[in-house]
Every structure is written in C-alpha cells, then in structure tokens.
Amino acid sequence: MTGIPELIAETPYIWRARRGDHRHRLICFPHAGAGAGAYAEWAALLPPEIELAAVQLPGRQNRIAEAPVTAVGPLVKLLTQALRPVMDGPFSFFGHSGGAVLAFELARALQAKGGPQPSGLFLSAQSAPGTAGRIKQLRDLTDDDLAAEVVRLGGIEPEIAEDQDVMDALLPTLRADFDLWEQHRIESGPRLKSPITVLSGATDPRAPLDTLDGWREQTDGAFTTRLYPGGHFYFLHDPAELIHDISQALLQPEKAGSVS
C-alpha cells in the first residue's frame, strides 16, 4: 500500500490525507454520531489528483472528551476560519445526512462573507429544505429505540449495538447530533453559485426520492441528482462507485452536470 496517504489529525477540526501533487481537495463532513475517521478508507480509493480532508467535530474519536455541538450557527462561523488551511486551492464539499446540511450552511456562509467557495457541493442522503416534516424524528426516542433505529438504517452493525459499553459511549453524541440537525431549519437566503449534486440511496427512508429535487432551488449553478441501490447508508460498505462518480465529476468538468 506504499504511496497511499493516511487520513490523520492535523488540527482539532481537520483530518487530512496529504497528496503533494493534488489538483483538487475533497472536504468531507460526517453523518450524525460519526467522526472524520468515517472517511479513512476513501484516501486509498480517490485518484492521486484529489486530496482528501475530513472535518472532525467535538465529542467523537480523538475529541471524545469534548461536549458535542449544540448550535449550528456558531459552529458554521467557527468552521469558516478553522477550515482555512484546506480551502487554499480548488476544493469541493461532500456531506452525508446531517453533514450535508453542515456543508451547505458552510458554503452559504462562505459566499456571504466573500470567502473561498467550493467548486461544488455533493449532498448525500439529505432531503431538501422544507421537507423535514416528512422525515421520522429520532431525537426523542429512548436509547434502546434510537439504537435499534440506527441499526435498521445500517449506521451501526448489530453486534456493535449489543455491546453496552460501546453504546454507552456512542449514544450521547449520536443523540446530540440528531437533536442538532432535526431541530435545525435552513432559512431562505441567496442561492449558491456553486453547483449542487444530490446523491441518495434509492430506498432511503430519510431522504425519499420526491424530497430531493428541492435542492435545485438552492443554486444558480448546475444541479444533478444521482441515485444508488440501497438505503440511508448506501455507500457505507462499498464506497467505490460513489467515489468514482465524484472523482469523475471533479476531474472531468466538461461532463454535463459536473463541477469545475
């Protein structure tokens, strides 16, 4: 595996798999309860022209002792500065579920400030603004029911959910994240200049197909939707096809619907 960069922590908020000769950087935002390490295997699957960076939030992995985030606005404001080291050249955002909302809100904040802006947004497994009322809310479930629901969605392996010590460590952050994102509402505002690509599992109950097209209203750039077999965590066990499609879009901008 010589030559494949490893995703490592560089700052409290940035994990990066450095590639000295990259042309583009893909900055990834993890889903509820997850940390930057959720993208560790992506470094080996991305072509050498694309460098991987992942956002690490408090309350998980190497930041497990810190309290989870409880407000979106201050977090976005902080990230506009904290991610500057990985926004120093061409970059795009990928976010999954709640991470997609964070990526979108950060792109909006950067545009409002006249700061660096992503060449494109890849928003995965997240229904469009204004459709949240149709999605089952999880934040008020009991611990057992919350764990069972996340297992059903494919986010936690059943054998892990049976380990009470692991779940005792995981559930507070998981619950805090669902509380954060289920209560957050994207406000009306200027449309982004960055293109948006919506990615989803064809049978995802948390991002039904008829809730996706509304993202089109959030950009003046190109808009593309791409569906994959599977549910909410459609790429978790085999992200190769998803990574190939993102890489093609980033490195071949002449293709219709891709980013430049």
* Contact by Cβ (8 Å): 53, 25: yes
**Could you give the CA distance from residue 213 to residue 228 in angstroms, rounded to a whole number?**
16
Other C-beta atoms within 10 Å of 152: how many? 13
For the chain, the 3-state helix, strand and coil shares in percent, each to the nearest 5, are 40, 15, 45
97 counts as catalytic: yes
- Closest by CA position to 185, among listed 72, 107, 75: 72
| Given the residues 92, 97, 194, 200, the one annotated as active site | 97
**Could you give the CA distance from residue 153 to residue 8 in angstroms, rounded to a whole number?**
28
Active site residues: 97
